[in-house]
Structure 1
């Protein structure tokens, strides 16, 4: 396993993710354990401060800063340009390069952004057909579809918005720079993966791979792993985005203590959520089909999926091509073992 780190690249990636910081804090802190809240106490305050600074731009952020799978459409533009051999040294250089992209290139990036698995199959697919199979809220799908219809004008508006937000974010980026650099210089990826048993498959996948690591500020609580075929991204087809406290957060889930135990039981006690967990771990699982089978909306399926992922019960399946998610077997085994021990149950 080998990886590279470039501080400029990391800061560029972080500044393409600013829409994360515009949503209400409770949307992503609701499922945090008390241990996680303790670890992130100062960072949660910073998150709230940034959110207030960005509040006047909230409507434009939702409409233009398209987000999914842990990164934004602006992140996709940046990665596309890196793979084209460009290496902008500042966000202003990135803005200029994005504005110079052809309409065809913009559509290539939007298809890359939306592709679930095989880009070669998705590159000529109609946007509406692609969106039908994605676990996104109806509002998010509408924003993406609107963006695609006037993509050149939408990208111009996105760049204008980014140009307004980037200067506002600079004090916070500078505030976390020392922490990010320290984390990047002392990081051992093998140790991070070992801290979370459910990432064992990821460790196996990365063992013989080289990839770039992007380290971002702790208030973004990110751990995103991405693989793209070499045909599409010849220079940067594997990368990991992780925030500078992700090792501490993962470590806090190592032991099935009382807090984690109660959180898991609470998550599984919702019958619909339990059925969503079972359905998502089946081959060829589609959100739309699951919603129809359970008599709920696609947005509800997405809501339950997020809760299951937050509780570490649902993890990405990196072995089976036709199965996107897998249940966290080690965590469930620990749960069953605790119940057996508490009630002296025999096998």
Structure 2
């Protein structure tokens, strides 16, 4: 039995539910133990010193379901909601166990990891390594994947949501581009691992195609009883929102484009001294008035850039120098916006 506290939405209210992952005879599924209301900490009763116990509602829920509760597992589930001092004490006494993946050998890990979905592997790889280029994740055993093993779909989403909190706004699109393996749609493009430099409308279309395909994937939703493949599940709705609410990272577009063109395209040019653009010059390059640019959100600027970039992209017959100049201007303006905020 694997216990965890899942945050849920009830209309406009946030509620928390103590759940467990369990083997139902054919797969791992999730079931509710007790509704904790809006604050799990209310179910922790302190008795002085470092002592505490859990409320009668929690104890009665286990008894009512005929489940034998493990004190250490319950403490781990409530760990984030404990008094900070007591939490540190517990972490010191459970070092090497709480919050860590199982210590299986390679053969055992391979046995448990065989049930993991490719989407989960790609998500965790990006969160662990931060790279769009994943190489081959299949057919190999990766220790960092053990944290997802022997869990229900609901608990896997719970674990990954906690890890996703480290993502910065500009990383969300790269994350989803990688997790959905959108690179496969650009096999012959030299910049297939640099989504900011690809045709934005094509990337958007492939994203929607893959998110819909995943929504109909029975293997991904194994153990989830209430899923209708014709309606996008809440597990995936958040990704559509995060994808269209953010832009691809502009931080190194210029450097990546320059390196890839030098490496993969054969053309001769006389390298010029690289000079930084002023805000006014960058605006002019993207066809914007400074006042118009300052009123734009980062998302609106990204959409404007993608429209321009599509027209001048070398893979679509555009001029490579113009495309590079557009990318440089976009990087400059995004940097200016970040500095202002």
TM range (shorter): under 0.3
Q: Where is the helix percentage greater, Structure 1 or Structure 2?
A: 1
Higher RCO, 1 vs 2 (CA within 8 Å, ≥6 residues apart) = 1
